[in-house]
Amino acid sequence: MKPTKKLIIAVDGPAAAGKGTLAKSLAQVLGLPYLDTGLLYRAVARRVIDQGANPHDDATVFAESLETDDLERNDLRQPEVDQAASLVARQPGVRAALLERQRHFGRLGGAVIDGRDIGTVVFPDADMKFFITASPGVRAQRRYRQRYGHDCDDETVLQKEVRAITERDQQDASRDVAPLKPAIDAVMIKTDHLTAADVLHKTLDVLRERGLLGS
Ligand code: C5P
């Protein structure tokens, strides 16, 4: 399936809503590069933690000196990084340092980019914007499955995951710079009762309806 031009597709939404899964498959089907912008904030947070620094303190210097190797580490998805990433992501200096990097990536040849502020700040003129959501309970279960490879049947553990996710969303949505929120022209998709394949087909239908896909 070929896009009619080098599309920029923004996929935003809260934690563990299925943005990454969708963005990756869309990129693959459409032959576009994929960027997970959460990894940038995670990599900054990882460096902060490794240096024994406080994630509440200004981490701009870590963001400015981020290298490709930092993004390829396999310890960027640990729970302590989730929380620290959300704290460094509140900082205007960190966001400014990462902004041009994201824009440069998209402008090279179009891209599917997932994050929190892609449709509102990074690419306000994106060809297409999706905002993916799901209820906290569903997201907590998905996050658990991603981490451990099976469903969580312990309600206490699940509730702890719900609290962590809700706290992070609240932090992301209430910050002054580039808060988590849908762009005014985003297509909203709630994924509670949808499979990953359903969501992919839904988004492809929208792209087709808007004339953004060739036959
Ligand atoms: O998407 P992921 O959960 O990997 O993102 C980690 C954290 O990075 C988020 O909680 C959010 O604080 C931050 N983030 C952001 N803007 C983005 C992507 C991620 O603030 N575009």
- Tell me the mean pLDDT in the region 108-125: 97
pTM over 0.85: yes
Residue 206, judged by CB atoms within 10 A of its CB (0-12, 13-18, 19+), counts as middle
- Beta carbon of 119 within 6 Å of any ligand 1 atom: no
Ligand 1, atom 10: nearest CA belongs to which residue?
A: 86
Confidence of residue 2 (pLDDT cuts 50, 70, 90): confident
Q: For residues 28 and 34, what is the distance between their CA atoms, to the nearest angstrom?
A: 8
Q: Give the C-alpha distances (Å, rounded to integers) separating 176 from 37, 40, 50, 123, 173.
A: 19, 19, 27, 18, 9
Q: Which two tokens stand for residue 81?
A: 């990084």
Question: Would you place residue 215 in the very low, low, confident or very high pLDDT band (cuts 50, 70, 90)?
Answer: low
* Ligand 1 mean position, distance from CA 6 (Å): 25
Residue nearest to atom 19 of ligand 1 (CA): 38
Contact 136, 130 (CB under 8 A): no
pLDDT in tens, 161-182: 999 999 999 999 999 999 999 9
Whether 131 lines ligand 1, by a CB cut-off of 6 Å, is no
